[in-house]
Amino acid sequence: MHKHISKNKKLLVVSDTGMVIDSDNTVKAFGPVVTELNHLLLEFDEITWIGFNSKHQFQNKSYLNVSNKKIKTILLDEVGGTTLFSKLKIICFYPKMVIIILREVFKNNYIHSRAPSNPSVIIMLLSFFFKKKIFWHKYAGSWVDRAPFFYSFQRRFLRSLRKSNNIITINGNYSKNKNILPFENPCIDNKDRVFGKEIIEEKENEGKINFCFVGALNSNKGVPEIIETFKNIVSEKIGEIHFVGSCNEVEKYITSAKEIPFKTIFHGFLSKDKIKKVYKKSHFILLPSKSEGFPKVIGEAMNFGCIPIVSNISCIGEYVHDDENGYLLSKPTSKILKRTIERALQLNPIKYKKWLRNNYEISKKFTYSYYTHRVKVEIFR
């Protein structure tokens, strides 16, 4: 059993999370992780956070200021890509990453890596040489589904780590090893719970039915299938379709969606407060993904009264049960999605209300308070 966390508790977080430096030298970073680390400061006095300098994300509205003085940021040069040149660049940059990360590992007794990523591989390796430090590795992808070589390599690497000083948290209950824990990713605070309860008490499905998608707009998330589906549905019940998120191909999706006979809105990146407004007016969230870990947006949408219509992959079926509190897609095809949406449009209003309330209770597991309690009790106990 690990010792109690001592006074002057310091945590090192190593990730490939995007960060940018504003014109006034303010550091901005991917909002969900900023919020998560702010809550972890309830357990730690100081956090050093290593991430990637993502200059191309400068105008990303989902980025937040890293304003808490107890969080010190270190920006690595961003590496990654699919071309041969980009892969060679990763290899060349590894020695520099190792030096920067190793220097910080020496200063901290508690180290948290976020995998799959290149920096997390370095932390996995270093855990063999620092037996007295506690390493917590969060694996964000699916623990069981087929994955690209680099992802599956990291899963194998994580399984091989020393159990005495390594805790691995994953999406889903897939391992009997005591150091590999199923762990929900947080996305809901106390204000969200209050607001969510208000929404659920007011929301009905007897008028026009609205749908939303929240996430990266790409083929892996099933965006082309969603667009194709709504092109071919005939219904007077459908109101609006909302897409929140963006990508390099967004213009292609906007052009394709012009053939949809319902009001379709592409919002781009939105702040969390504005995403809540989309959830409030939506009745269902769509996520016909081809591969996932467990998307936070499912737990988030449940809290704000959106019934999930999602792929039956990874551990999603542990939270969403077909025709009990949502709909599971056996395959993420437009044909199956169309059939499922048509079922959803016929959902009995009493049943719909019951599902909303049940899902609100399930979403409690995605609160920051539940998360920080588990970090304290089960990881750094």
Report the CATH number that the domain containing residue 90 is assigned in CATH: 3.40.50
Say what the pLDDT of residue 2 is. 47
Residues 78-96: pLDDT tens digits? Answer: 877 667 777 777 888 899 9
Count Cα neighbours of 12 within 13 Å in the Cβ-side half-sphere. Answer: 22
Same domain, 266 and 169: no
Residue spans of beta strands (DSSP E) within 150-283: 166-171, 180-182, 209-214, 238-244, 263-268
Say what the pLDDT of residue 1 is. 42
Q: Which structure tokens are listed for 179?
A: 């150091």
Name 53's Cβ contacts closer than 8 Å, sequence gap at least 6.
19, 20, 21, 75, 76, 77, 78
- Residue 71 burial (C-beta neighbours within 10 Å; 0-12, 13-18, 19+): buried
Q: Has residue 129 been placed in a domain?
A: yes
Same domain, 172 and 218: no
Same domain, 323 and 262: yes
> What pTM does this model have?
0.90
Same domain, 219 and 175: no
Same domain, 123 and 229: no
Same domain, 225 and 318: yes
Same domain, 120 and 53: yes
Give the range of the structural domain holding residue 312, as residue numbers without chain letter: 190-366
Q: Has residue 142 been placed in a domain?
A: yes
Query: Would you give the DSSP letter of residue 331?
Result: S
Say what the pLDDT of residue 23 is. 80
H or E, element range at 101: helix 84-107
Same domain, 194 and 179: no
Same domain, 94 and 126: yes
Q: Has residue 376 been placed in a domain?
A: no
Q: Has residue 1 been placed in a domain?
A: no
Residues 120-144: pLDDT tens digits? Answer: 999 999 999 999 999 999 999 999 9
The residue from 161, 183, 205 where one domain ends is 183
- Residue 319 burial (C-beta neighbours within 10 Å; 0-12, 13-18, 19+): buried
Torsion of CA 18, 248, 213, 259, to 10 degrees: 170
Say what the pLDDT of residue 56 is. 67
The residue from 183, 202, 229 where one domain ends is 183
Same domain, 66 and 86: yes
> CA 40, CA 355: separation in Å to the nearest integer?
32
Same domain, 268 and 168: no
pLDDT < 50 positions in the chain: 1-5
Single out the residue of 220, 177, 247 nearest to residue 313, CA to CA.
220
Say what the pLDDT of residue 8 is. 77
Report the CATH number that the domain containing residue 287 is assigned in CATH: 3.40.50.2000
The residue from 168, 183, 198 where one domain ends is 183
Looking at the structure of the chain, the number of domains it has is: 2
Same domain, 212 and 131: no
Decide if 174 contacts 355 (C-beta within 8 A): no
